[in-house]
Every structure is written in C-alpha cells, then in structure tokens.
Amino acid sequence: MPGGNGSNRMSWPAMAAALVVPLLCALIYVVWFPHGNAGRGAWFATKVWVLVYPLFFFGLIGLGGLVRRESRSGHWPSWGTVVVTGVLSGLGIVLAGWILVLTPVGEIVRENSHNLVEKAKGLGFASKERFLIVAIFITVLHSAMEEYYWRWFVYGHLRKMVGYWPGHLLAAVAFTGHHLVLMSVLFPLPLALFLSFLVGIGGVIWTWMYQRQGTVLGCWISHLLVDAFLMVVGYRLILMP
C-alpha cells in the first residue's frame, strides 16, 4: 500500500467523518430545512467544516501540495505545465458542458429551472447582487476550498489507506455525494444521476492531476473555470428566465 507505514495515516473513523459530514450537511440545507436560518446555517457550517477539519491532521500530511510540491518522490512537471494543464482541462470540461447545454439535456434543465429559483430564494441568493457575490465566492474561493478538502486532504490520505486507484474512486464518490443531493431536488432522478456521474468524473480528473503534479494549483485552475461556467448558466436560469 502506498504511503509508507501506518503512523502517518488517518484512522478510519476520522476519514469516515471527512467523507460523510458534507453529505449530511447538504441533506440539512437542501432537503430537510431548505428555507430560512436553519438551511443557511447548515450551508455555512459546511464551509467551516471544510476549512477547519483538515487542520487537525496537518501533522500527518504537512503543507506539501498546498504551498509547495509534495515531498514524495516523483518527476514533477514544471509550474508552467501545471498552469497550462489546469487551463486546458478546465476549458475542455466547459466545452463539453456547453455542448451538453445544446442537447435535450439542456432543455430538461431549463424546464426545471423553477426548482433552482426556489432553492436560491430559500437560501437568500435570488437577487442579482447577492447572486453575484455568491457566484464570485463559489468560483474563486469555494473551488479552492474544495480542492484543499477533497483532493489535498481527502484523496491525499485515502491513497495511503487504500491505494491510488481505490483512493481516486472513493474520493470521487464522496465528492459526488453532496452534489447528488442538490441535483436530486432540482432535476428528475435520471438526469440528477447523470449529472452527478459527470461530477464524479471531474473528481477523478482532479485527483489524477493532483497525483501527477504534486500540487492542487492545476486542479484549482481547472475547477475555477468549470465553476465560472456553471455560475453563468445559473445566472441565466435564475435571473434571466
């Protein structure tokens, strides 16, 4: 199993919390309490968890992958290659998404946009000004938080616990979980499952990039571009019906 001896591995209960808590919080603010302070509080609590929980495990993994390359053996690509790979992969995913918008899938999404509007109103993001603030947060900061949490922290530990490819898949499934909760209340179940499957593919792409590059920088650039595209789509559906 990669990663050396077990002294620098998380316990399974700690990893289970990392994998499951974002999903449980999504159930609270999307399904159980989608309106008012309870939903907004659960949404905020999720972001606090994503930022704070990994801090308890810095001693096991260090700062490699965040502020510098990981300290494992490997021939790392240049920083320029990392940036270019991030841009090209992000634009490739955006292009695939734009093509999808032009298919019957895009029409189904538009037909169900009232669900998205309702959720945005429930969380207080339906006005133009608030949506733009949230869109900037999600595009720039939230994408960085997710790479920090799901690629650097979750995958970074999972590969030591179960191996590289099982780690890729398990991290992608967990990353998909809270997205599936949201998709399931916005769209018919077959479409929700399909879109969530695409999210999972994105998760595998980004963990693979992290593994190959030893840094979350390229993953973050790619993720940022994808989220920017999704925010443009969301703006058109919520504020330009």
* C-alpha dihedral sign at 21, 26, 28, 31: negative
Mean local confidence (pLDDT), 7-16: 87
Q: Percent of the chain scored above 90 by pLDDT?
A: 71
**pLDDT over 70 (residue 4):** no
**Model confidence over 22-66: pLDDT tens digits?**
999 999 988 888 777 888 888 889 999 999 999 999 888 788 899
Question: What is the pLDDT, as a whole number, of residue 241?
Answer: 64
**Model confidence over 73-128: pLDDT tens digits?**
778 999 999 999 999 999 999 999 999 999 999 999 999 988 888 878 777 777 88
Alpha-carbon distance of 38 to 123, in angstroms, equals 10
Q: Percent of the chain scored above 70 by pLDDT?
A: 96
- Cβ pair 100, 106 in contact under 8 A: yes
Model confidence, pTM:
0.92
**Model confidence over 171-220: pLDDT tens digits?**
999 999 999 999 999 999 999 999 999 999 999 999 999 999 999 999 99
Question: What is the pLDDT, as a whole number, of residue 35?
Answer: 76
Question: What is the pLDDT, as a whole number, of residue 5?
Answer: 42
Q: Which residue, among 223, 199, 241, has the nearest Cα to 109 in the 3D structure?
A: 241
Question: What is the pLDDT, as a whole number, of residue 203?
Answer: 97
- Cβ pair 19, 150 in contact under 8 A: no
**pLDDT over 60 (residue 148):** yes
**pLDDT over 50 (residue 2):** no
Distances in whole angstroms, Cα of residue 192 to Cα of each of 21, 96, 105, 116, 238 = 21, 17, 11, 13, 18
| pLDDT confidence band for 7 (50 / 70 / 90) | low
Virtual CA dihedral for 64, 70, 76, 82, nearest 10 degrees?
-40
**pLDDT over 50 (residue 1):** no
